[in-house]
Amino acid sequence: MNTDQARSSLGQVERLMFELVRHGTGDAGKAAAHHLSAGGARVRARLALHAADALGRPESEAVAIAAACELLHNASLVHDDLQDRDEQRRGQAAVWRKYGDAVAICVGDLLLSAAYGALGTVGASAASLSVRMHRRIAEVIHGQCADLALQGGALTSLENYERIASAKSAPLLVLPLELALTLAGREEAVAAATQAGSLFAIGYQVADDLEDAHQDAMHQELNIVSVLAASGEAEPHERARDLAIRRFQQSHAAAAALPSGSGDLLAAQASQRIERLSHSLAPA
């Protein structure tokens, strides 16, 4: 997919998302449009578009699964901001801060429902894809509940940290690849895609924790630096960077091995983060 094609397809994804949340939804629709209008990298949509194109699927299918995955991700962000009381999202007021808690709950629900609406435009395959999507949503909810249960408490096991980090983020990173692979009849590659997404999610969470280590420590929130420090690690920040780089390297290898280059965009994302982390370690 060349740059112009990618831009055109992503524009169709944007239009579909806004159409699904605005029609007949009142204040919740306005608030959902407010959230979506802040933009974002649309990583999950791009992953779906790239994978579907690489696997030879029609653009209509690619747009449908891309919109579904992006709507799900945004639903999780709206609810996360509400749970964490984060007042801003992408440089503007979070939905709960601008419209109130009750509307924020409705907006998250609306975005979640809209994701199934987007997937329904695929056609005959929508039923089986919906089952797969539900399973991934259930995994995210499980991971989020586990994370919330640990806030303010001690977690000294790196294994448990990685399990929670993966459960929170990996399912919605894997989903774009999984839906594209399923549409292409390549279900045997879903396990490899799951591994690539899980490793990427762990690397991403570790890198994010490094940036938020001081703030998380003040609020007693789960952070890789505190986990490593509690386990006796003498240089927890350096150890965390090494871990993030290693997980991104493993994710790159797994994604690059997916059929027909369907995981190449995820592999490229991993490479970018490896470079960024390696640069931060370089001598001044």
Q: How far is CA 248 from CA 102, 151, 158, 212, 223, in A?
A: 38, 26, 17, 19, 18
Angstrom distance (rounded) from CA 37 to CA 18: 9
Contact 52, 182 (CB under 8 A): no
The whole-number average pLDDT for the span 81-86 is: 92
Model confidence over 233-280: pLDDT tens digits? 999 999 999 999 999 999 999 999 999 999 999 999 999 999 999 987
| pLDDT of res. 4 | 86
pLDDT tens by residue, 161-183: 899 889 989 999 999 999 999 99
Task: State pLDDT tens for residues 186-196.
Answer: 999 999 999 99
∠ Cα 151 154 160 (to 5°): 90
Q: Which whole number is the average pLDDT over 61-87?
A: 96
Whole-number pLDDT of residue 222: 77
Contact assessment for residue 102 and residue 66, using Cβ atoms and an 8 Å cutoff: no
Q: Mean pLDDT over residues 216-242, rounded?
A: 87
pLDDT at position 283? 43
**Banded model confidence at residue 32, pLDDT cuts 50, 70, 90:** very high
Residue 154 has pLDDT above 70, yes or no: no
Interval 136-145 mean pLDDT: 92
Tell me the pLDDT of the chain averaged across its residues: 93
In order of their start, the domains of the chain are 1-123 (1.10.600.10), 124-284 (1.10.600.10)
**Given pLDDT bands bounded at 50, 70 and 90, which one contains residue 152?**
low
Answer whether residue 284 shows pLDDT above 50: no
pLDDT at 156: 62
- Give mean pLDDT, residues 87-100: 95
State residue 103's pLDDT score: 97
Per-residue pLDDT at 151 exceeds 80: no
Q: What share of the chain in percent tops pLDDT 70?
A: 96
For position 122, what pLDDT does the model report? Answer: 95
In whole angstroms, give the CA distance from residue 207 to residue 30.
Answer: 34
More confident position, 185 or 146: 185
When pLDDT is cut at 50, 70 and 90, the band that residue 153 belongs to is: low
Q: And the tokens for 109?
A: 């629900």
**DSSP run (H or E) holding 93:** strand 92-93
What DSSP state is assigned to residue 188?
G
User: 204, 132, 194: which is closest to 165 by C-alpha?
Assistant: 204
Instruction: Please check the confidence at residue 1 and state whether its pLDDT lies above 80.
Output: no
Is residue 183 within 8 A of residue 51, CB to CB? The reply is no
